[in-house]
Structure 1
């Protein structure tokens, strides 16, 4: 049988399928395997990521508490909870600094 995922992707609208239990199990296993791979990639990237404190971010960006609060509120620089602490991704800081340099 053709791969169910490709059938679903290629279908322009509603479709009806008749599949065997074996095909359905294989399909669910392929979805689970794909989700595991994506999650493993995200976890690996998160482990590589460094997180900075509020004070470090303010010093690097040359901003005050109010600006940092506004940036977080507007989604320009989102805070991340690590346990019960608030941190900021180094990659986000680099993006902001890059945008500033580009102007």
Structure 2
């Protein structure tokens, strides 16, 4: 039914945050809707003033909301599709036309 990817988004989100340099990443479920009914990814980045931390902050804080835009664009939300197009967020399976 096309819903397989829906369950994968939080896992992809967590993995992307990890490779972008988040200090720690968590995958958890519940979120107020009941245990096992919703999976979420969370992350924390230590901002200690170093150049390395600055680079990690930039990567994670670009990627994390970017995957949210991609996820919503993939689901067909017009605003997300528009933002993805304007900001150059590449969303496979989505064709923007000219």
Is the pair's TM-score, using the shorter chain for normalization, greater than 0.5?
A: no
Q: Name which one, 1 or 2, has greater alpha-carbon Rg.
A: 1
TM-score (norm 2): 0.31
TM-score (norm 1): 0.30
Q: Greater helix share, 1 or 2?
A: 1
